[in-house]
Structure 1
């Protein structure tokens, strides 16, 4: 497998074009509605656009991102961009444990920077140096610097095959997987398709397409499961319009968002507010620079369309399990209070071997960015008994 170092290098021409487009925004007429009730608030968008055009320092962001050890690999004909940060320290009898972490939408590899510090150099964060990880954080095909697949069919299951090959190519015979959002689906698929390589899976989200086989006579739904399914359906009706568009008409939405940086910021920024533990004040949790780093990566790589394509593919290959089908790989789950869904443990245990379950005190959908120390502690605790497989 060919692996080459990679650095981000956005041209001055691309930066100038972005600023020109922002300054020439044709603003949608305001509607008589409370802020955020009908989507992205125009007042907040105006402030963000002005900051993006006149104050946001992409060159400094680019410099900091390029401090991450980034690479491009040819994995079975698919180019994959990834960060590969090795664990610090040399503890006798312990090696850093290999872990692949997968992002989702509307995130990207940049949301893991603080989490990498916690996992790769735990001693520097006040944790046990024996808990160090070698962390690989690939960009999903079609996201940021991983080009879109040349052929259709790249669902979470096919991405899992790529990740397994990537980890083998990096010299890891056995490893763990972690993920939220789309990355949770990829991590589950890794355990399902590559059980002899994956020691354990830690999740902070359950894919909405996950369906265990239900034998109502032998194991009827519990009251908590009934409540969860009702809440999930209610959420999809009021908040899931974006996913329905992504999974049914991605090219139509992409035509607009790929041409308008303000539209892209509205589409992504609204989700960071709605899905995070911010109490309705988005910048209580995320700075403008953090938001715009991620949005700019989507803009400069023109990846919004290819990113949405994965919703289409996952709709065609949902995460459904047949009667009697189980995944024996150990699973850990961190349930954050402001996540977009809250499955009960029993719902996962219908398919998965759940060995660790944690009710988190705070945090939402973007756990690695919102609460990196809390998430890292859960990941360390989950994989600690599995480290013997790499010693």
Structure 2
């Protein structure tokens, strides 16, 4: 079922966006069945644009630089000297209007599910050969990313290529509380709630079966979707899958795997990532999870400062894009940010958080999930076909043996040649290739 404009078109102007109300032909006429054609259209609201820019520039101009320690690079966080260069680019050269045009190259929609306005982009392949069909794929982002992470991979998945190649119809929603999706108003909205909402979204779009893909929070949300509806979710592809609970098999493999790697199927990469145990599984994780403890306990406190300061917000978010892409980037004065990403793309992601006031609700997602401790779904296995893409610079490494403790039908496990946490944005071609490989395996089995 498509989102064709059928019965009702209305033009509204609010929060710098153009909205058209769409109605599915087979949906009952109720507020719950409306799909809003949502375009973040600043060209029709230039007054709003000037107001936003003036406020942003005023706040940037009031920032109070603090010099970094000598030779500290990115070891203390975002280096202050490089920060000022990024701030200068943001203030003087970054073209938000041009980036909004880029955002609008794909169709945006909103629909109300469980009382929450859920934003998503829906990209359909063009020029499909007669008789061919596309495969629906839901892709879910994480923190501190957004739906924009997938803009590089979307054309690789949706453009028709060689004869017999798989073409996808891709839906990328914003997690409630992130970007253009409305934030939950009550406590308790966790990954399972998000999975339930996204399942309802796909049902509303008319899909009886589909594939899902995710990293970071997208990993657990799509995993929950597969746990909730294993007959609807045809396959699950993830690029991040840290063990949620420790099994006896995992403990034995950690204790003995260094001495008997073949017994546990450990590769050289597994050995290098796991051992020495104390350094790799304890010390390194403690170094890189300080943010997690704050966000899982008192997110509103730190979040309020980030919500008021664009420079603080930018530093907080982009430091993660540096460190989580490659830990070695902490040894560089510029954090290696522009080795993998453009400033325009990085700042566009920051602007999505800034213009929607979504940093606090996005941080609350940690408290709703981690603050509860071990959840029932952590103990439930995944029984749908699963593919795992292992990018070598990911912070948390999961050997195949460990992944199989959770994902009982692991049909694809790929060690990638390069890449880190934001894989779809950093290495879109590698990610697209692995998704296709996984889906071909599942389709062949079916």
Tell me if both proteins adopt one fold, taking TM over 0.5 as the criterion. yes
The higher radius of gyration belongs to 2
1:7 and 2:39 aligned: yes
1:369 to 425, 431, 434: 425
- Residue by residue over 1:174-216, the C-alpha shift from the partner in whole angstroms, topping out at 9 and shown as x without a partner, is 01110000000101111111112101100001146x125x246
Choose 17-26 or 128-137, whichever is displaced more. 128-137
Q: Which residue of 1 aligns with 2:24?
A: none
**Alignment partner of 1:270: what SS?**
helix
- Residue by residue over 1:42-91, the C-alpha shift from the partner in whole angstroms, topping out at 9 and shown as x without a partner, is 01110010111111000000111112110001112211000001123324
1:336 and 2:382 aligned: no
**Alignment partner of 1:248: what SS?**
coil
Cα–Cα, structure 1 residues 329 and 61, in superposed 2: closer, same or farther, change >3 Å? same
- 1:217-236 aligned at under 5 Å gives the runs 220-222=252-254, 223=257, 227=274, 230=278, 231-236=280-285
TM-score (normalised: structure 2): 0.81
1:266 and 2:320 aligned: no
Q: Which residue of 2 aligns with 1:188?
A: 223
* Cα drift, residue 15 of structure 1: 1.4
Q: Which residue of 2 aligns with 1:175?
A: 210
Cα–Cα, structure 1 residues 219 and 304, in superposed 2: closer, same or farther, change >3 Å? closer
1:78 and 2:116 aligned: yes
Say how many residue pairs are matched.
384
Q: Which residue of 1 aligns with 2:287?
A: 238
Distance in 2 of aligned mates of 1:94 and 1:32: 60
**Alignment partner of 1:153: what SS?**
coil
Q: Which residue of 2 aligns with 1:165?
A: 200
Aligned partners of 2:392 and 2:416 also within 8 Å: yes
Cα–Cα, structure 1 residues 318 and 240, in superposed 2: closer, same or farther, change >3 Å? same
1:276 to 310, 316, 325: 325
Aligned partners of 1:89 and 1:129 also within 8 Å: no
Aligned partners of 2:227 and 2:380 also within 8 Å: no
Cα–Cα, structure 1 residues 316 and 37, in superposed 2: closer, same or farther, change >3 Å? closer
Choose 140-149 or 274-283, whichever is displaced more. 274-283
Cα–Cα, structure 1 residues 194 and 266, in superposed 2: closer, same or farther, change >3 Å? same
* Cα drift, residue 255 of structure 1: 1.1
- Residue by residue over 1:155-188, the C-alpha shift from the partner in whole angstroms, topping out at 9 and shown as x without a partner, is 1111100110000000000011100000001011
Choose 38-47 or 316-325, whichever is displaced more. 316-325
Cα–Cα, structure 1 residues 195 and 277, in superposed 2: closer, same or farther, change >3 Å? same
Aligned partners of 2:127 and 2:160 also within 8 Å: no
Cα–Cα, structure 1 residues 192 and 386, in superposed 2: closer, same or farther, change >3 Å? same
Q: Which runs of 5+ in 2 are unaligned?
A: 1-32, 43-47, 258-265, 330-335
Distance in 1 of aligned mates of 2:134 and 2:338: 35
Distance in 2 of aligned mates of 1:30 and 1:116: 39
Aligned partners of 1:211 and 1:320 also within 8 Å: no
Aligned partners of 1:99 and 1:134 also within 8 Å: yes
Aligned partners of 2:245 and 2:379 also within 8 Å: no
1:250 and 2:308 aligned: no
Q: Which residue of 2 aligns with 1:307?
A: 362
Aligned partners of 2:137 and 2:169 also within 8 Å: yes
2:155 to 93, 104, 117: 117
- Residue by residue over 1:258-297, the C-alpha shift from the partner in whole angstroms, topping out at 9 and shown as x without a partner, is 0111101110111111111495221111111111010111
**Alignment partner of 2:133: what SS?**
coil
- Residue by residue over 1:4-55, the C-alpha shift from the partner in whole angstroms, topping out at 9 and shown as x without a partner, is 1001145221111101111121123533452111110001110010111111
Choose 337-346 or 4-13, whichever is displaced more. 4-13
Distance in 2 of aligned mates of 1:147 and 1:366: 24
1:155 and 2:193 aligned: no
TM-score (normalised: structure 1): 0.92
**Alignment partner of 2:385: what SS?**
strand
Cα–Cα, structure 1 residues 150 and 289, in superposed 2: closer, same or farther, change >3 Å? same
Aligned partners of 1:321 and 1:351 also within 8 Å: no
Choose 267-276 or 226-235, whichever is displaced more. 226-235
Cα–Cα, structure 1 residues 388 and 259, in superposed 2: closer, same or farther, change >3 Å? same
Give the root-mean-square deviation of aligned CA atoms.
Answer: 2.4
